[in-house]
Amino acid sequence: MTYPRTSQSARRHHPMRLLAALSGGVSLVWALGAVAPAEVLAAGHPMAGGATGHVTTGARVVPETAYVVDTAIPGTVTPIDTAINRPKKAIKVGGNPDAIVFTPGGGTAYIANANSGTVTPISTATNSAGPPIPVGAFPDAMAITPDGKTVYVANANSNTVTPINTATNKPGPAIKAGSAPAAIAITPDGRTAYVVDGGSGRVRPITIATNKPGTPITVGPLTSDPTAIAITPDGSTAYVASFVAGTVTPINLATNTAGTPITVGTGPDWVTITPDGTTAYVVSEESGTVTPISTATNKPGPAIKVGNVPDFMAITPDGTMAYVPNGGSGTVTPISTATNKPGPAIKVGINPAMIAITPNGRTAYVTDSGSAQVTPISTATNKPGPAIPVGHDPIEIAITP
C-alpha cells in the first residue's frame, strides 16, 4: 500500500506492511519500505484508500488488466488478464519496485523502484518498459494529478518530491519535503499535493501550479510517525493516520489547519474513504481492527475486529463492501459498510498484502506475498478462485481503470 510503505498508499515493513489507492478520485499511493505505507494510494482500480494507493481517472483505453509488482531484486511487474485470470510475461523494471500509478485511461503505468532511485514507465498497450526516469533516493510513494500531466514521487531517503512530466517522462527539479516523506495525496481539483513527512509529524502542502511547498501542518509530535493519508471526494478534508500515536488527524483543506486527533486502534497505517465520502475507515495493524469515522462529525464508531496484522483495505466501487487483507492470518475479511459488520474470513495464501477490485466491482484480487501468487475473490459470493502464480514476492497490485 503509499507505500504506501498507499496509496495510496508509505509505512511498510516487508512483508507485512503493505500500498495504493483510491479515495473518491484522489490520487494516492502508499509504498513498501518507507521508514516513516503508495500503500496510498493513492490513491486511488478503484482502490479506495489512503491511498491507489493507486488513483486513476478518465475513460479506459486498454483491456482490464491487473498489474502485480514483485519486490524481488531485480524487480518485475506481471500483467494478469482479468478476463481469464492468466498471467502474461513479466516485465523487468528496477530494483525493489514498490509503488504503481496509472495515467488517466490506463495507457501508461509508472513503477517506483526504491533501490534504484528510478521510476519505470510501462506502456500498457504493449507491456513494454521505457527508459528509467531518475528521481531521488528510495522513492516509495507516488500520486498522479487528475489531468494525468504530472506524477509526484516521494523520495524517503532524499527528503524530496520529484515531479515527472508524463508527456516527456522527464523529471523536474526536486521539491524539498520534510523528514522521510512516506505518503502523498492530491486534491480532486488537482491544485495541491499533500505530502506526509513520516519523520517529522507533519504534512506538507505543495502547490501544483508552481511546485512550491507551503507551510507544514503539524499532525502530531515528532515521534507520532504519520504513515498514510486520504482525502474526501469533495476535497474538503484530509485524514492522516499516525502509527505510533494511534490517532487519525483531520485537516481542513480550505485553511490547512489540523483538527483534534481522533483515537483509533493500535498502529493505524491505512485510511480509506467511501465513494460517497461519508465514512473514513482506518486499518490498525497492531490491534487487528478497523475503525469507522463519520466525516460529518469526526467521531469514531465501534472498532471492527478483523484478522491478524491487517495492513490495507479496498472498497467496492458501489461502496457497499470493504475488503481487508490480514497478513498474519492468511485471510481477507469482508465488511458490510451498511452495518459495519465483518463477514466470515476468506482463506487465501500466505501473507496477503494488498487488494485491488475491478472497475465493475465483481472481483477482488489479493497479492499473497508469501505464496508468490494472486488470489481472485468473487465479490458476489466471497469465494476465492484458483490462485494465479506470479513472480517471487508480489506485493503491490493495481488494475487499469
43 vs 354: CA distance, rounded Å = 13
Is 9 a member of any domain? no
Dihedral Cα 154, 158, 159, 161, nearest 10 deg: -30
Place of cell 505543495: 206
pTM of the model: 0.89
Report the pLDDT value the prediction gives residue 99, as an integer from 0 to 100.
Answer: 96
Report the pLDDT value the prediction gives residue 74, as an integer from 0 to 100.
Answer: 82
Report the pLDDT value the prediction gives residue 65, as an integer from 0 to 100.
Answer: 97
Q: b/e map of 335-355 (b: 16 or more CB within 10 Å)?
A: bebeebebeebbebbebbbbb
Report the pLDDT value the prediction gives residue 25, as an integer from 0 to 100.
Answer: 32
Is 6 a member of any domain? no
Tens digit of pLDDT at every position of the chain (401 positions) = 223 333 333 334 332 233 333 333 333 433 332 222 223 333 332 233 333 333 333 444 456 999 999 998 789 999 999 999 999 999 999 999 999 999 998 999 999 999 999 999 999 999 999 999 999 999 999 999 999 999 999 999 999 999 999 999 999 999 999 999 999 999 999 999 999 999 999 999 999 999 999 999 999 999 999 999 999 999 999 999 999 999 999 999 999 999 999 999 999 999 999 999 999 999 999 999 999 999 999 999 999 999 999 999 999 999 999 999 999 999 999 999 999 999 999 999 999 999 999 999 999 999 999 999 999 999 999 999 999 999 999 999 999 98
Is 76 a member of any domain? yes
Expressed as residue numbers, the domain containing 295 is 22-399
Dihedral Cα 359, 360, 363, 368, nearest 10 deg: 0
Is 171 a member of any domain? yes
Is 115 a member of any domain? yes
Our count of domains for the chain comes to: 1
Is 121 a member of any domain? yes
Is 174 a member of any domain? yes
**164: CATH:** 2.130.10.10
Is 75 a member of any domain? yes
CA angle, corner 32, sides to 28 and 35, nearest 5? Answer: 100
